[in-house]
Structure 1
Amino acid sequence: MKTAVSPRKAPRQARSQATVTAILDAAARVLVERGYAAANTNLVAERAGVSVGSLYQYFPNKDALITALHDRHSRQMDEVMDRAFALSQDLPFDEALQLIIEGVVEAHRVEAGLHRVLETQLAGLDMLSSHEETEARIAEQMGCLLARYPDQVRVPNLRLAVYMLMHALHALVHAVVATRPSGVSLKTATQEIVRMTRLYLSSPPTGG
Structure 2
Amino acid sequence: MPDPNLSKPRKLPRQSRSVAMVDAILEASARVLLERGYAGMSTNVVAQQAGVSVGSLYQYFPNKESLLVALHSRHAEQMARSIEAILNAPGNGGLRGEIVRLVRAAMAAHEVEPQLHRLLENERPFFEGNNSGKGVEADIHRHIQRLLADHPDDVRHPDLAVAAWMTMRMTESLVHTAILHPPHDLVLSQIEPAIVDAIHAFLTYDSRHRS
Interval containing the TM-score (normalised by the shorter chain): 0.7 to 0.9
Q: Where has structure 1 moved over 4 Å in runs of 4 or more? A: 88-91
AA partner of residue 13 (structure 2) = A
State the alpha-carbon separation in 1 of the partners of residues 139 and 12 from structure 2. 27
The yes-or-no answer on 1:207 pairing with 2:181 is: no
- Map of 2:81 onto structure 1: 79
Q: TM-score scaled to structure 1, two decimals?
A: 0.83
> Within 5 A, what are the aligned runs for 1:108-123?
108-123=110-125
Amino acid aligned to 2:15: R
Q: Give the superposition deviation at 1:6.
A: 1.9
Letter in 1 for 2:147: L
CA distances 1:6-63 after superposition (whole Å, capped 9, x unpaired): 244516235x444332321121122234433442111222333444344334433223
**Number of equivalences:** 207
What secondary structure does 2:125 align onto?
Answer: coil
Q: Amino acid of the residue matched to residue 19 of structure 1?
A: M
Q: CA RMSD in A?
A: 2.6
The 5 A counterparts of 1:117-196 are 117-125=119-127, 128-196=130-198
User: CA–CA distance in 2 between the matches of 1:133 and 1:122?
Assistant: 17
Task: Specify the SS of the correspondent of 1:153.
Answer: coil
Moved more, 126-135 or 185-194: 126-135
Q: Compute the displacement of 1:137 (Å).
A: 2.1
User: How much identity, in percent, do the aligned residues show?
Assistant: 37
Unpaired segments ≥5 residues, structure 1: none
Structure 1 residue 102: Cα displacement: 0.6
Q: Is the 8 A contact 1:11 1:20 kept in 2?
A: no
- For structure 2, the 5+ residue unaligned runs are none
CA distance in 1, matches of 2:155, 2:179: 27
TM-score of the two chains, using structure 2 as the length reference: 0.82
SS in 2 for 1:44: helix
The answer for the alignment partner of 1:99 in structure 2 is 101
Instruction: Mark the CA change 1:141 to 1:10 in structure 2 (over 3 Å): closer, same or farther.
Output: same
Deviates more, 1:65-74 or 1:179-188: 179-188
